Amino acid sequence: MSTVDFKLPENLTIANVHGLHEEFESLVDTKDCDKVILRGDGVTRADTAGLQLLVAFVHATKERQIQVDWDSPSEKLCSAAGLLGVGDALGIH
């Protein structure tokens, strides 16, 4: 089993969701991945589309029994998640 470090982009916005979605898909389809560490310290912008994608990713990892941990989510990311009410779904505290 393995742990994957995943650095989120600076702009977690609709402009980036397509490429990010593909990266997330390949991550959850990796057979030997049992833990993902999301590095969110560099996120300076996050919109609804970006956060929806993150929620879907976290949900998909739970279905596949992949643990998700956060490493230093930025204040912008945390406040955007809080504003949209998805902080608990993302496990950001």
pTM confidence score? 0.92
d(CA 80, CA 46): 6
Query: What is the residue range of 58's domain?
Result: 2-90
| Nearest by Cα to 42 from 22, 60, 16 | 16
* Chain centroid offset of residue 10 CA: 12
What is the reported pLDDT for 6? 94
Query: For 57-87, what is each residue's pLDDT tens digit?
Result: 999 999 999 999 999 999 999 999 999 999 9
Question: Domain of 60: which CATH number?
Answer: 3.30.750.24
What is the reported pLDDT for 41? 96
Number of domains in the chain: 1
Determine what percent of the chain is predicted with pLDDT higher than 90: 83
pLDDT above 70 (res 13): yes
